[in-house]
Amino acid sequence: MLDLKFVRENPDIVKQNIKNKFQDSKLPLVDEVIELDEQSRKAKTEADALRAERNSISKEIGKLMGQGKKDEAEEMKKLVNEKSAYLAELEAKEAEYNEKILKIMMTIPNIIDPSVPIGKDDSENKELEKFGEPALKPFEVPYHTEIMEKLHGIDLDSARRVAGNGFYYLMGDIARLHSAVISYARDFMIDRGFTYCVPPFMIRSDVVTGVMSFAEMDAMMYKIEGEDLYLIGTSEHSMIGKFINTIIDESELPKTLTSYSPCFRKEKGAHGLEERGVYRIHQFEKQEMIVVCKPEDSKMWFDRLWKNTVDLFRSLDIPVRTLECCSGDLADLKVKSVDVEAWSPRQQKYFEVGSCSNLGDAQARRLKIRVNGENGKYFAHTLNNTVVAPPRMLIAFLENNLREDGSVAIPEALRPYMGGKTEIRG
């Protein structure tokens, strides 16, 4: 969420940013919120003056009563009551204006970083760098669920009977591999100085609206019926929410946390063949990283965060590339975002396995996460990045480590988490 004062003083910048994000339908909101802000400030000024006048009259009533001038005091009381009634009207108007302002401000997108390429959707994202050599297998690579089935590692039919489409049972060594990847990612991030955390898997609505846009909320979140609780779509939500309504001393920054959680997502809409199986599902597990820092440090932390994911995948011999998200592919709260994509020998192309985002002070402003610095209080910057989400990670892992005989090699870094196994066989 932007600073209202910034919108008031820089309407042209805000409108151009909306155009850059190809959200022209939101352009009228800028003038509307500025007009509402003017009306709100007028109502507040008038209300403040009225309160001062009422207080002055109340003191005069006290003097009159002390002098025994009861009739004059009663007349003054009528005047106070009249002013109190009008003040109540002004306060109601002010509250109404502020509610409308907040609703609009929660909809106007954050100002994107100047380095973000302008583009309409993800088809215009820009490749930044490749890490590792994408290899073509000398044999046909089966679909990932076929690999798992041959290794007795997945049961989709039972999952459909139990929960419907978009769920799975992982079995045997594939289930163990799933847990191994999570454990390895946890230790990988701890070794890089991050504090490990297991957060709540449900959050209240004020946290949901603090960490994401209304459109994202509707598309992703599962609501708990009869409760002010939502299942998290990623642990970033509850990890950033950890700091809601707090004032952090500047000396305590940065806050660097890595978290494990299950994630729950609606995943609305139809998807192609390659997005079936365990690629796009309603429930999965994930290792995440978040940073709360000073504004001047957020660019540095952004580069560190996406590099952590690249380094983790390369430590498991999986080629990856980074992709700069264009303006139209950025969620409304994001200032800048880089996707990490893993190589798929089956598709002979890269696919997304993680996303690193700098949200500037947007989440902190919504959640009231402030920093107490030498020159006063200010809003922190927040960042997040996927360390690893095993369902998609498993696809990349299995395809890149598959042998022609159907067995899967276990890279050295992961063997301690697999009981010393060097391979998985059916």
pLDDT of residue 63: 67
Three-state secondary structure of 221-251: CEECCCCCCEECCCHHHHHHHCCCCEEEEHH
Q: Is 85 exposed, middle or buried (0-12, 13-18, 19+ CB in 10 A)?
A: exposed
DSSP helix/strand/coil, 289? strand
Integer Cα distance of 182 and 260 in angstroms: 8
Residue in the block written with tokens 């089966």: 142
Same domain for 138 and 204, yes or no, is yes
Q: Which residue has the higher pLDDT, 231 or 165?
A: 231
Q: What is the value of pTM for the model shown?
A: 0.89
Its domain, for residue 358, covers 122-424
Task: Answer whether residue 129 is part of any domain.
Answer: yes
Task: Answer whether residue 113 is part of any domain.
Answer: no
In this prediction, residues 268-272 reach a mean pLDDT of: 51
Same domain for 96 and 241, yes or no, is no
Last-in-domain residue among 57, 80, 105: 105
Same domain for 337 and 405, yes or no, is yes
- Flag whether pLDDT at 127 surpasses 50: yes
**Length of the chain counted residue by residue:** 426
Last-in-domain residue among 72, 105, 138: 105
- Flag whether pLDDT at 275 surpasses 70: no
Contacts of 420 (CB under 8 A, 6+ apart): none
pLDDT of residue 1: 86
Number of domains in the chain: 2
Task: Answer whether residue 384 is part of any domain.
Answer: yes
Same domain for 255 and 166, yes or no, is yes
pLDDT of residue 87: 79
Residue in the block written with tokens 């985002």: 357
Same domain for 213 and 66, yes or no, is no
Integer Cα distance of 87 and 82 in angstroms: 9
Same domain for 155 and 296, yes or no, is yes
Same domain for 307 and 205, yes or no, is yes
Cα 274 to the center of its chain, rounded Å: 25
Integer Cα distance of 148 and 171 in angstroms: 9
Last-in-domain residue among 62, 80, 105: 105
